[in-house]
Chain A
């Protein structure tokens, strides 16, 4: 690697770092309940060694009516020690993973590419650059999502797995890391098994050469899956799947068994194909939670051309072992997401999106080789990167802040500091579907004593900690704040403040209960979003 290439790598990592950490606590705005629960569980583990339900070091975290894979939460303990409880803290684990993914991608591609060393380094730099600036890679690094840690561990596993084809002794470590990735996110539970089966099958001659190492590796893999087997018996393992899949809906329909199987097959194929549609990958910003931002698809539109070129190159060189694995990942990557009912949900396919980045890079590399003049090369790179960053910056750092803020619970972050002024009052925050997860969000932001939260939530547990039946409507409370649906029969007394959005209080209720405005919480444009009312009704 030349000095110039080293400088390029440093620049790429630096750009990746800036794109992931700049205004991390503000963009995207707000804090999701799933992010807050990871943060609070990390805080709770740090202070008490138990999660918010009082469970010592769980292998799956119960939260928000479902379960969260554990690795993200455990890793978040480290930034919690350094930064305390904040929006920045809970997202740091993901942002660091995002930067590490860029670096890991460089090492993987540059070392495993079977061409010359020089070509490998160039391709490695291009791929790292593509991952550094891709909208999906930046966006999910700025959210506290387990999938982002999942993709990092998975890619590390792929690196070791491909390396083990040359150096057999790495196979057990590869299996261990791949097994570990199944505890980072749901998708990896499916993909790792399929990938491992594919690699062992295709390279059976190489892998079975050292039978002891192979057995040891597969043994490690099975060992890491044992906790899943235990969780399977409790129903906790499949809880999330049962919430997002279409299996349940189809099984309830009046159809023969064969009809149901065919319908499930049809749904699966339709959902699977959506992930290969250029529309979804390069054009359509979409609108669901798992998407990126206004006007941004998971990749920039210009990337379609190198993607097609890369796809052609990949197919042409399909006998190459590394490309075989990339091809296999391209096919198995969307399978977990295709089992769910959402139409194109990038969050569930980060491993697949990473593979797409590799294919795009192969295309870019082909174009790079065609351009002979060094200066033209530089100009093209600067132009493309500059254009991409402007498009991303306009959408992400300007529009998102305003257009997403209200829906993403950002006003509740402001509310946390507003409520500091009302410590001597009894406050009831309206907990509705519009404010889903507000309890855990405020509990985390206010750093409520984990012991109090544990006692409160433990008393509300109606089933075992690991169970198929998980309550999503738990009532959270801090010293003087309770988060529950407004009960107008109890809305009385001079000390009470009711908090909610404009739909929480009708004009008639304001008159009937003699509500008087105490404060409002505005959005970024100054429009009041949350209202705090005191009541003059006397309790009977």
Chain B
């Protein structure tokens, strides 16, 4: 099989895999296009077969730009950085605990207000990115997951191959998707991770023979 044919088949796989998602997920043309382009870019990033350095740079920057467009398109979720009255109360209650427990350090601005306020925002960000990192969103026997559980072994295998062979582009995309997940509304966040999932599936299918050989 020629390299070009391989690439073409891979792209065909990435274009078609989206149709295997569970029926609960309605079809959204722009989201499907986004997922396809991102997974195709990720494939080129991982395969590293682009000889032209300008093209390499474009492929490197394109996922970032696409995520930027995705964030703008879906709207920045301002609540991530907004402290609610409930949280303010919790903050106040916890400041009291700091005063009691940390003594002089707790009474100073650094030990008390700054730490807790920074932590509050950090906690909110962490909470925000927690959901897309839930594996059952993508694979499970339940209806709320994106793909059937049947695909999980392929994804696991493909993802392990990505981590073992191409850790840098994998972490690069994971980082971009995570930053995107902080900014977009919660129900949109996991769309940013689906390209990675799709590529995992592709590499899983591609490498299954390799695994049995080894």
Contacts and interface: CB of A to CB of B under 8 A. Distances in A.
Given A283-B130, A398-B97, A274 B136 contact: yes
Interface stretch (A90-98, A165-173, A221-229, A305-313): A305-313
Contacts of B102: 398
Interface stretch (A81-89, A118-126, A265-273): A265-273
B136 A394 contact: no
A280 B163 CA distance: 20
Contacts of A391: 119
B133 interface: yes
Interface in B80-132: 94, 97-98, 101-102, 115, 119, 123, 126-127, 129-131
B133 A312 contact: no
Given A266-B141, A274-B136, A401-B101, A312 B163 contact: yes
Contact of B97 (A278, A282, A399): A399
Contacts of A269: 140-141, 149
Interface stretch (B4-12, B59-67, B165-173, B197-205): B165-173
A276 interface: yes
Chain B interface, >50% SS class:
helix
A273 B165 contact: no
Chain A interface, >50% SS class:
helix
A265 to B, nearest CB: 9
Contacts of B162: 312
- Interface centre among A266, A282, A283, A309, by most chain B C-beta atoms within 10 angstroms, is A283
Given A295-B123, A394-B115, A394-B119, A315 B141 contact: no
Interface residues of B, number: 34
Nearest to A263: B141
Given A273-B140, A305-B171, A282 B133 contact: yes
A402 interface: yes
A301 interface: yes
Contact of A279 (B98, B134, B140, B174): B134
Contacts of A282: 133
B133 A311 contact: no
A379 B135 CA distance: 34
Given A279-B130, A283-B126, A316 B164 contact: yes
B170 A283 contact: no
Given A283-B133, A309-B163, 6 more contacts: A279-B131, A283-B130, A305-B171, A308-B167, A315-B163, A318-B214
Interface of B: 94, 97-98, 101-102, 115, 119, 123, 126-127, 129-131, 133-136, 139-142, 149, 152, 160-165, 167, 170-171, 174, 214
Interface of A: 266, 269-270, 273-274, 276-280, 282-284, 295, 301, 304-305, 308-309, 311-313, 315-316, 318-319, 390-391, 394, 397-399, 401-402
